[in-house]
């Protein structure tokens, strides 16, 4: 029974676009989602801790920063959710039979994501709208929300790893068909999760740094402080991340580990470049701390880190296909291109970007009075 592998058939409906295009959209929208998610999750932890430090030290810089973060967190959450819809769509298009099955096996934890999200999200709004009123407990509210979001991430890692291991489904399902399983027996789940979690702290540190860059012209002292303070979160997070990353790599099956160690040249190159880019961003950010003009250095660091995230996301995709290599054969997809629908999508997409751009341009013009 333990060795039984049951694999649902892929959906009989053909793909409406070539595999590569759907894959490209999957990875691209995942990158956008994960950046917003890092701001929303890591930002919550940084806001809460900064708030606590501010109270203890009675230092206005800390309190100001947490007040500013309180306004960014609901926005980051809104975009995490909205940007998350697209990769959730494309993963169901390409990997539906794996995704639905693993979700059903752990249905209750998976569904609880919705409830946790609603509570955590309202927590962020309570933090923003009652920032002055709630002086004492507000930090704990935002930290509580951040913890709920961290739990959501953990559930996601459980499911998205379970989805890649059909060998475990039958045994789990027949032992417990009530959807209350988890996937902690998989040794990669914890390090993989921590890899995402620690990244969210680092990247949210960069959000604070970007915020500092925006402030530097108006209030140089505060701006420089925010650059250093956010940068420090980033630097410490990234150093911890190297340890967690190695742990994650070593937790993988040897054949997957070797993919990134020369066996698959594309995977190896992306891995190498990504690690170098993260080192580069670390150095640039550190240098920006005391530079006369921190902007160019910091922006360089930010760009290299976003490229690192892109590289890591591509690696994640390579790893997914490696996990599923015995079952998932992209060349077997039947493709029937819906040209007119694709055209409408392209037009709507461009029009949507222009509309959002128009609105942002109106907001950015306000900067002097509101920033």
For residue 335, list its beta bridge partners: 15
Under the binding rule (CB under 8 A), the answer on residue 130 touching another protein is no
CA angle, 341 then 345 then 347, to 5°: 115
Q: Which range of residues in 12-20, 190-198, 200-208, 319-327 is near another protein by CB under 8 A? A: 12-20
Task: State the distance between the two ends of the chain, measured CA to CA, in whole angstroms.
Answer: 62
Helices (H), the chain: 19-57, 60-105, 107-129, 138-162, 169-175, 189-215, 220-251, 254-258, 265-288, 294-323, 339-364, 367-370
Distances in Å between the Cα of 172 and the Cα atoms of 112, 151, 216, 288, 301 are 19, 22, 55, 51, 45
Question: Quick one: tokens of 62?
Answer: 């800390």
Q: Which of 178, 292, 331, 368 binds another protein (CB under 8 A)?
A: 178
Question: Quick one: tokens of 97?
Answer: 């039979």
Write out the DSSP string of 260-275: IIIISHHHHHHHHHHH
Under the binding rule (CB under 8 A), the answer on residue 162 touching another protein is no
Q: Is 6 or 266 the residue whose CB approaches another protein more closely?
A: 6
Q: Which of 140, 173, 242, 306 binds another protein (CB under 8 A)?
A: 173
Binding mask 323-352 for another protein (x = CB under 8 A): -----------x-xxxxxxx-xx--xx--x
Q: Is 112 or 268 the residue whose CB approaches another protein more closely?
A: 112
Under the binding rule (CB under 8 A), the answer on residue 370 touching another protein is yes
Q: Is 239 or 342 the residue whose CB approaches another protein more closely?
A: 342
Residues 24-83 interacting with another protein (rule: CB under 8 A): 25, 74-75, 78-79, 81-83
Q: Which of 19, 61, 100, 306 binds another protein (CB under 8 A)?
A: 100
* DSSP type of residue 292: S
For residue 59, the tally of other CB atoms under 10 A from its CB is 14
Under the binding rule (CB under 8 A), the answer on residue 250 touching another protein is no
Under the binding rule (CB under 8 A), the answer on residue 185 touching another protein is no
Q: Is 45 or 90 the residue whose CB approaches another protein more closely?
A: 90
For residue 15, list its beta bridge partners: 335
State whether residue 371 is helix, strand or coil. Answer: coil
Q: Which of 132, 254, 265, 366 binds another protein (CB under 8 A)?
A: 366
Q: Is 4 or 326 the residue whose CB approaches another protein more closely?
A: 4
Under the binding rule (CB under 8 A), the answer on residue 103 touching another protein is yes
Beta carbons of 240 and 194 less than 8 angstroms apart: no
Q: How many residues interact with another protein (rule CB under 8 A)? A: 72
Evaluated on CA atoms 73, 79, 85, 88, the torsion sign reads negative
Q: Which range of residues in 167-175, 244-252, 294-302, 314-322 is near another protein by CB under 8 A? A: 167-175
Q: Which range of residues in 4-12, 60-68, 269-277, 312-320 is near another protein by CB under 8 A? A: 4-12
Q: Which range of residues in 33-41, 115-123, 278-286, 310-318 is near another protein by CB under 8 A? A: 115-123
Beta carbons of 211 and 70 less than 8 angstroms apart: no
């Amino acid at each position: 029974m333990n060795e039984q592998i049951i694999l649902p058939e892929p959906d009989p409906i053909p793909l409406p676009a070539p595999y590569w295009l759907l894959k490209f959209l999957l990875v691209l929208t995942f990158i956008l989602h994960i950046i917003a998610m890092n701001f929303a999750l890591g930002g919550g932890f940084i806001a809460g801790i900064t708030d606590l430090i501010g109270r203890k030290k009675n230092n206005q810089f800390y309190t100001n920063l947490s007040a500013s973060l309180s306004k960014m967190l609901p926005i980051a959450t809104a975009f995490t959710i909205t940007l998350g819809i697209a990769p959730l769509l494309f993963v169901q298009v390409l990997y539906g039979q794996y995704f639905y099955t693993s979700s059903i096996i752990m249905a209750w934890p998976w569904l609880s994501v919705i409830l946790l999200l609603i509570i955590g999200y309202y927590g962020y709004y309570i933090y923003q709208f009652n920032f002055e009123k709630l002086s004492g407990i507000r930090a704990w509210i935002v930290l509580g929300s951040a913890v709920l979001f961290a739990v959501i991430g953990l559930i996601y890692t459980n499911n998205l790893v379970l989805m890649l291991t059909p060998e475990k489904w039958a045994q789990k399902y027949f032992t417990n068909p009530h959807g209350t399983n988890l996937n902690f027996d998989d040794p990669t789940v914890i390090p993989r999760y921590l890899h995402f979690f620690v990244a969210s702290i680092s990247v949210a540190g960069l959000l604070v740094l970007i915020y500092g860059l925006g402030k530097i012209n108006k209030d140089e002292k505060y701006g420089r402080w925010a650059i250093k303070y956010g940068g420090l979160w980033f630097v410490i997070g990234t150093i911890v991340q190297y340890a967690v990353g190695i742990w994650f790599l070593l937790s993988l099956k040897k054949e997957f580990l070797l993919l990134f160690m020369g066996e698959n040249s594309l995977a190896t190159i992306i891995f190498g470049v990504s690690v170098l880019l993260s080192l580069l961003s670390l150095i640039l950010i550190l240098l920006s701390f005391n530079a006369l003009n921190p902007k160019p250095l910091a922006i360089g660091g930010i760009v290299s880190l976003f490229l690192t995230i892109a590289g890591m996301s591509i690696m994640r995709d390579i790893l997914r296909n490696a996990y599923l290599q015995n079952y998932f054969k992209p060349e077997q997809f039947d493709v029937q291109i819906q040209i007119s629908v694709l055209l409408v999508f392209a037009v709507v997409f461009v029009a949507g970007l222009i509309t959002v751009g128009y609105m942002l341009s109106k907001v950015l013009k306000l900067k002097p009075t509101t920033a």
